[in-house]
Amino acid sequence: MMPDRARGLVLGHIGARGGSKGVRRKNFRPIAGKVLIDWSLDQLFAHPQVDTVVVSTDDAEIYDHAVARGALRIGLRPAHLATDSAGKWGVWQHALEVSEPLLTGPVGAFLDLDCTSPLRRESDITRALALYFDQRPDMVMSCCEARKNPYFNLVEPDTTGALHVSKPLPGGVVARQQAPLVYEHAASTYVVAPEYLRRAQGLWEGRVIPYLMPPERCVDIDSPLDFEIVEFLLQKSLKGEEHA
């Protein structure tokens, strides 16, 4: 499949800080045969619709690794975007801003793959891009159906400490099937309209629509246990490919 130049370039992005509180240096830690970031880098470089790849990082080793593989030379991200409290949005805005002068044409889609969610498939990227170009929202966000539901089995305490359903409905909900559908924001795959990324101050200001993924591909690494679970699933997937 060749890129549709009329739609503009697809800029593939990965954000990968060097530090991590949950799992030390997780983005460059080996997992199932290669460093974590390479699971997402491989997908971006291999995907026929991705024109250019950029990695935003504060870590010189990660940056040099990405550039050696073919990522744009944008330098390290600013210090204020390298803290634990720095959100995705500012990192995305900076990456787009510094990348655009280095590109051969206008960006039509900013595609972000979360480094800590390596279980996505190439087909997830293809379908998320197709959804974006077909419906033209401000953003496509990967989601899965939530295992817990605030109308049914998520509870919170009141001022006395007594528990109540987080979002009660008149008459109550006695079975999960009666509860409104709720999605879980899965930090995996995002497609953002460049003009929206430039003007908005955060993810939720515009029209954000879901790209639904199965929950087994939405596991995000945030703890040592998550790392072990994802490594198990990656190795299982590799074995499946070997026997396919």
| Distance between CA atoms of residues 143 and 185, nearest Å | 5
Task: Encode pLDDT of 196-231 as tens digits.
Answer: 999 999 999 999 999 999 999 999 999 999 999 999
Task: Encode pLDDT of 100-138 as tens digits.
Answer: 999 999 999 999 999 999 999 999 999 999 999 999 999
| Distance between CA atoms of residues 141 and 186, nearest Å | 8
Secondary structure, 3-state, 170-223: CCCCCCHHHCCCCEEEEEEEEEECHHHHHHCCCCCCCCEEEEECCHHHCCCCCC
Q: Nearest-CA neighbor of 95 among 48, 60, 53? A: 53
For residue 22, the model assigns a pLDDT of 66
Domains, the chain, with CATH or none:
5-143+182-242 (3.90.550.10), 147-181 (no CATH)
Task: Encode pLDDT of 144-174 as tens digits.
Answer: 999 899 999 899 999 999 999 999 998 888 8
| Distance between CA atoms of residues 83 and 73, nearest Å | 22
| Distance between CA atoms of residues 222 and 51, nearest Å | 30
pTM as predicted:
0.90
For residue 4, the model assigns a pLDDT of 58
